[in-house]
Structure 1
Amino acid sequence: MQDLEIYIRDLEPAAVSNWLEGQLDELQLDDTDVSSVVKGMARYSGARVRITLYPGAFGKRFTSLVMEGDELPWNSDLDCARSAWRAMDTEIRCSPGDWKEGDPVEDDKWWRLDHRGEQLVVWN
C-alpha cells in the first residue's frame, strides 16, 4: 500500500476533484464543501484509491490531502505536489520524504511549491 500526502493552502471548493478528474478513474469525491473532512475514492490502473481531505492542518490555512492505494499516479509526495500546483496554482507543501512518525517537526524542512518555485523551507 502506497500513500501520498500534500498540503494545499487556501483550498477552493471542487479544486481537488477538478484536478484529480484527469489523473484517476471513477473519481467519487464531493469537495464542494471543504470546511470539514471529506472522503472519497477512485481507481488507478484498476486498483482502488482512498482519498481524504483534512482541513485546518498547520495553522488552519492548509488542507491535508491523503491518497492511499496499491497503485497511484505519482511515485512521491513531491511528484504529486508538482501536479497539484500546476492544476491549482496555489501554494502546495509536502514532506521531503525522510520524516517518520515520532520525529520532531520543529526544524524539519518541507517542500514549498508556489509562484517563487520549489524550495525547502521550515514550515512556519
Structure 2
Amino acid sequence: MQDLEIYIRDLEAGAVHHWLESHVKQLVLDDNNVASVTKGTAVFGEAFLKITLYPQAFGKRFTSLLIEGEQLPWNSDLECARSAWRTIDTEIRCSPGEWKEGESAEDEKWWRLDSRGEQLVVWN
C-alpha cells in the first residue's frame, strides 16, 4: 500500500471533492463538513483508493488529506500538492519525503506552495 499526504490551509467545504473528481473515478467523498474527520473512496486505474481528511492537523488551520492505495494519481506528495494548489488555491504543505516515522520532525523542512511559489520552510 502506498500513500500520499498533504496539508491544506483553511480548507473550504467541497474543495477536495471538486479537485479530486477530475483525477479519479467513482469518487465517494462528502467533504461538506470540514470540521470533522471525513472518509471516502475512489478508483484510480484499477486500484481502490481510501481517502481521509483529518481537520486541525498541525494546529487549527490545516487539514491533512491522506490518499492510500496500490496505485495513486501522483508519484509523490509534492506532485499531489502541486495539483491540489492549482485547483484549491490555498496554501498547501507536504513533506519533502525524507522523514521516516519515529524520527524527530522538529527542524524538518516542508514544501509550502502558495501565491509566493514553492519553498522549503520550517513548519512554524
After superposition, what is the alpha-carbon deviation per residue over 1:26-53, rounded to whole angstroms, capped at 9, x for unaligned?
Answer: 0000000010000000000021000000
**Which residue number in structure 2 is paired with residue 40 of structure 1?**
40
Whether 1:108 aligns to 2:112 is: no
Distance 2:99 2:108 in 1: 8
Give the TM-score normalised by the residue count of structure 2. 0.99
**Which residue number in structure 1 is paired with residue 27 of structure 2?**
27
Distance 2:46 2:19 in 1: 19
Equivalent residue pairs, number: 124
- Residue type of the partner of 1:26? Q
Look up the SS of the partner of 1:87 in the other structure: helix
Distance 1:44 1:90 in 2: 25
1:34-113 to structure 2, matched below 5 A, reads 34-113=34-113
Residue 14 of structure 1 and its aligned partner are, at CA, apart by 0.3
Gaps of 5+ in 1: none
After superposition, what is the alpha-carbon deviation per residue over 1:46-79, rounded to whole angstroms, capped at 9, x for unaligned?
Answer: 2100000000001110000000001111000000
| Stretches (4+) displaced over 3 A | none
- Residue type of the partner of 1:38? T
Gaps of 5+ in 2: none
Distance 1:10 1:103 in 2: 27
- Residue type of the partner of 2:110? W
